[in-house]
Structure 1
Amino acid sequence: MIQRRPLLALPALISVGTMAACGEDSTGSGTAAQTSVEVFTWWAQGSEKAGLDALVEVFATQHPDVEFVNGAVAGGAGSAAKDLLQSRLRAGDPPETFQAHAGAELNDYIEAGQIQDVSALLDEFGLRDAIPERLLARLSVDQAIYSIPSNIHRSNMVWGSATVLNDAGIDTSSPPASLDEFLEQLQRLQGAGVTPLSVGTTWTQVHLLEAVLMAQLGADAYNGLFDGATAWDGAEVTAALERFEAMIGHTNPDRDDLDWPGATQQVIDGAAGYNVMGDWAIAAFEQAQLVLGEDFVAFELPGREKVFGFLADSFTLPEGASHPDGARAWLETVSSVDGQLALSLAKGAIPARTDVDTAEFSEYMQGALTSFAQDAICSSIAHGAATSVAWLTAISEATSQFTTGASDLAGYQSALADAAGSGRG
């Protein structure tokens, strides 16, 4: 059971929607103080920045009296941002709101008493009827909710260059039917003299690992990795790690020097056959004016069953922020129909709300909506839905040791099992 600090500030927060317009400044002159909101994210480049820009445009329309302060820190999946954020929270200098992944990632902040329960805001914004139950269940911690979701992403996607694949004699009319068939295609690409599978720095390698685990284990066994029902040192995990090892052997030698945009760009440029990345990558292909089914292909990494690798970007209400009314305004925009539509179209996501008009959504996005509604859900490791920050850090360190050759497969699996033991407490 997670112990939380009592929530003291939220009732006051909900009543301060007009505070900026009627509050007095410190001189008592009666002049309204400028309300601002520092929004701390890792949306600093590529389609992620385009998504933030789209949200800011809606925010400026909905809340013209609140100044937006961009606190973005570069680094895919928040790899750099989370370290800086934790330093600020410990120093008592929180931003008004910060991006987080909905799910287990929030446990660290909850246990430290660094974020507030925002359940009352879900009621005020009318979100309980607009957000599907399978998402609400993943937002809830001990019957409380600590973040407002802005979108939903699918993590276990493969992106491929149609030209590179066709040149290697790979039929792009249908995706491979199994992990072993996918590995056979990587071997064929290797023989054709191109990079078979592009990846980037450590977090993208963990992202690949989770997709392989989902495919090899299936939803029930994969989800059991996080509640103890599936053993990390078991034979099925060994089989998954063997396939992961084979895939890493077919990747680009400069992988540790790239973040996700650079790895995805190799496919766009025709320098690599495949890339495994979340569906925010779709925006990069579309910005390059490439057409799905003609210039590039997209499919979930094949495995035992159809699964939706789940993550959701969300925003929090930190304890002790200087402008809680600014945070409330941002959370209102993030959760609004207009905000979620703008973000989804720019970032390649699907909305957390079910009442957003999806007429403008692309073929890929329509498919993602169907998959989230129908397929088994597997929470992402690399993006904080399945694991706490500390547990993810341990997985990332073990993965880096393995992919750089500092440990063998048996040592890697042992390290992952140790991380699970510590992560689950």
Structure 2
Amino acid sequence: MRMVAVIAAAALLTASACGSGKNDTPPPATVEVFTWWAEGGEKAGLDALVARFDADCPGQRFENGAVAGGAGVNAKQELTRRMARHDPPDTFQAHAGAELLDYIDAGQVEDLTAYYESWGLRDVLPAGLIDDLTVRGKIYSVPANIHRANVVWTNPAVLAGAGITTPPKDLPAFIDNLAKLKAAGVEAPLALGRDWTQLMLLEAVLITDLGPDNFAGLFTGRTDWRGAPVTKAVNDFTTLLGYGNLDRDTLDWPQAERLLIDGKAGYQLMGDWAAADLEAKNFPGYGWFTFPGNGNTFQWLADSFTLSTGASNITGTECWLKTVSSATGQQLFNEAKGSIPARVDVPSSGFSPYQQSAMTDWKSATQVPSCAHGSGCSQAWQSAVNAALRSYSTSPDPATLQAALAQAATQFVRP
């Protein structure tokens, strides 16, 4: 019996010794973060955010679920497939605002309102943004940044060659400048890309011709898509298309931007992610101005993150969301990506001149959402509008386009 006891004691000591080794440390829990940030400034921003997450969230490991594709088109399709087979990532990137309605209605994302209270986000995010993020009294995503959609980027050398040295003060002056560029032999005075980039241009024109309040009302049912101001905007949009490149439907925005860089275009309407991209492509001498006639209007979109219903690692996802929403996380991410913090308490030092000007405007400008980027309309509505624009490219009839826009609003507008 004594021998049995000795053997048992030795076995216990051996087990204890094994248990105290370094290999006994549990492996980190994985947080799958699904994005479409796969290259350029977007990837650099994500890497900066991941480094902060690693520091803030010991015991958690970031798993990159990135799916590349302009404006998230490919990622959204893959996310839809995963949701359909009940295989959600822990958290996924989505444009904040109305784009989330489909996920909310399907019960695929969790209510994050309590985090806004406990993390003090209501005190550091603009009230207008909070209002746009709120759906039926609840908030379902945390914004990582803010982008501005209604910006025109310029090639100053091309403009100077046509005698243009100052930004146009209004839309008629902008059209005059486009005519000057065309007369000077510029191949595509206004660089254009595929459907959603054309929707961005249409929205900028609508802001000019309707004003910010009536523009925002287009997506709530307050403003009639069949009205005379929209008719004028569609006609102005048609005029602008006439100064663009004929192959616009085959180009994504970086290919259209290449026309600007190569001197084949004078202007491009694009979101302010273009600033980081232009610098990355060694074209730092670009110019910019708010779309003519938009005045002090900031058309916003935000990349945001959710907590998926059925997430396998809720604790890790909460830590990711807290990092995303923190002042330090937003500073590191946006400095690299070229966007600006959604928070208004982040210092502007360390940001580019463009970003500093946008940060100032974000605090004071009139904020309106973007249908092209999901803050103003649902994905289904956005798809219907993009389809109408594709049809318009092959059969350009302004009345038909306006009717299609009105029909989409009738079908998809929600209170």
Same fold by TM (over 0.5)? yes
Name whichever of 49-58 and 221-230 sits farther off: 49-58
Greater shift, 298-307 or 411-420, is seen at: 298-307
Q: How does 1:147-226 map to 2 (within 5 A)?
A: 147-171=141-165, 174-194=166-186, 195-226=188-219
Asked if the contact 1:159–1:276 (Cα under 8 Å) also holds between the matched residues in 2, the reply is yes
The aligned residue for residue 100 of structure 2 is 106
The answer to whether the aligner puts 1:117 opposite 2:111 as a matched pair is: yes
Structure 1 segments, 4+ long, off by >3 Å, are 288-291
**Which deviations, in whole Å up to 9, do the C-alpha atoms of 1:289-312 show, x marking residues without a partner?**
444xxx221001111632111111
CA distance in 2, matches of 1:161, 1:64: 46
Match of 2:319 among 315, 329, 338: 329
Q: CA RMSD in A?
A: 1.8
Aligned CA distance change for structure 1 residues 324 and 69 (closer, same or farther; 3 Å): same
The question of whether the paired residues in 1 share the 8 Å contact of 2:200 and 2:372 is answered with yes
C-alpha distance after superposition, 1:188-231 (max 9, x if no partner) = 22222221111222211111111111122110110111122211
Q: Does 2:330 correspond to 1:340? A: yes
Partner of 1:389: 379
On the 8 A contact 2:190/2:243 being kept in 1, the answer is yes
Partner of 1:78: 72
1:9 corresponding residue in structure 2: none
Deviations 1:9-48 (A, max 9, x none): xxxxxxxxxxxxxxxxxxxx98635311221112223322
Q: Distance in 2 between matches of 1:342 and 1:249?
A: 41
Equivalent in 224, 234, 243 of residue 236 of structure 2: 243
Structure 1 residue 417 and structure 2 residue 411: aligned?
no
Partner of residue 25, structure 1: none
2:125 to 124, 128, 131: 131
Q: Separation in 2 of the partners of 1:201 and 1:304?
A: 23
Aligned to 1:364: 354
Question: When you count helix as a share of all residues, which structure comes out higher?
Answer: 2
1:294-352 alpha-carbon deviations (Å, 9 max, x no partner): x2210011116321111111100110122222222211211112210011111221111
Give the SS at the match of 2:388: helix
Is the 8 Å Cα contact of residues 200 and 262 (structure 1) preserved in structure 2? yes
- Work out which of the residue numbers 251, 254, 259 in structure 2 matches 1:266: 259
- Partners in 2 of 1:46 and 1:181 — Cα distance? 34
In 1, are the aligned partners of 2:348 and 2:359 still within 8 Å (CA)? no
Tell me the alpha carbon deviations over residues 369-413 of structure 1, each in whole angstroms, 9 at most, x when there is no partner: 22222221111110111101111111111111112x235211111
Matched, 1:406 2:395: yes
Partners of 1:150 and 1:335 within 8 A in 2? yes
Deviation track 1:35-65 (CA, whole Å, cap 9, x = no partner) reads 1122111222332222222222222232353
CA distance in 2, matches of 1:257, 1:44: 22
- Contact 1:52–1:343 (CA under 8 A) maintained in structure 2: yes
Q: How many residues align?
A: 391
**Contact 2:152 2:289 (C-alpha < 8 Å) held by counterparts:** yes
Question: 1:208, 1:46 → 2: CA distance?
Answer: 24
State yes or no: 1:35 paired with 2:29. yes
CA distance in 1, matches of 2:397, 2:411: 21
Change (3 A) 1:193 1:54: farther
Q: Report the AA paired with residue 190 of structure 1.
A: K
1:224 alignment partner AA: G
Higher mean Cα deviation, 154-163 or 33-42? Answer: 33-42
2:132 is the counterpart of 1:141: no
2:84 is the counterpart of 1:95: no
Instruction: Find 1:285's aligned residue among 273, 278, 298.
Output: 278
Q: Given that residues 105 and 387 in structure 1 are in contact (C-alpha distance below 8 angstroms), is that contact kept between their aligned partners in structure 2?
A: yes
2:250 corresponding residue in structure 1: 257
CA distance in 1: counterparts of 2:194 and 2:46, whole angstroms: 23
Distance across 1 between alignment mates of 2:208 and 2:279 = 27
Distance across 1 between alignment mates of 2:190 and 2:58: 45
Q: Does the CA contact (< 8 Å) of 1:149 and 1:313 recur in 2?
A: yes
Q: Which has the larger radius of gyration?
A: 2
The Cα shift of 1:164 comes to 0.8
SS at match of 2:123: coil
| Alignment match, 2:49 | 55
Q: One-letter code of the match for 1:115? A: V
User: Any stretches of 5+ residues in structure 2 without a counterpart?
Assistant: 1-22
CA distance in structure 2 between the partners assigned to 1:386 and 1:58 by the alignment: 31
Could you tell me how far 1:114 is from its partner in structure 2? Answer: 0.6
Equivalent position SS for 1:165 = helix
In the alignment, which residue of structure 2 is the partner of 1:354?
A: 344
Is 360-369 or 235-244 further displaced after alignment?
360-369
SS in 2 for 1:79: helix
Q: Secondary structure at the match of 1:80?
A: helix
Q: Normalized against structure 1, the TM-score is what?
A: 0.88
Name the stretch that deviates more: 53-62 or 144-153.
53-62
Percent identity over the alignment? Answer: 50
Q: TM-score, length-normalised on structure 2? A: 0.90
CA distance in 2, matches of 1:180, 1:341: 38
Match of 2:226 among 233, 242, 265: 233
Give the drift of 1:257: 2.7
Q: Distance in 2 between the 1:30 and 1:53 partners?
A: 29
1:275 to 260, 268, 271: 268
SS in 1 for 2:266: strand
Query: In structure 2, the residue corresponding to 1:181 is in which secondary structure?
Result: helix
Whole-angstrom CA distance in 1 between matches of 2:280 and 2:98 = 33
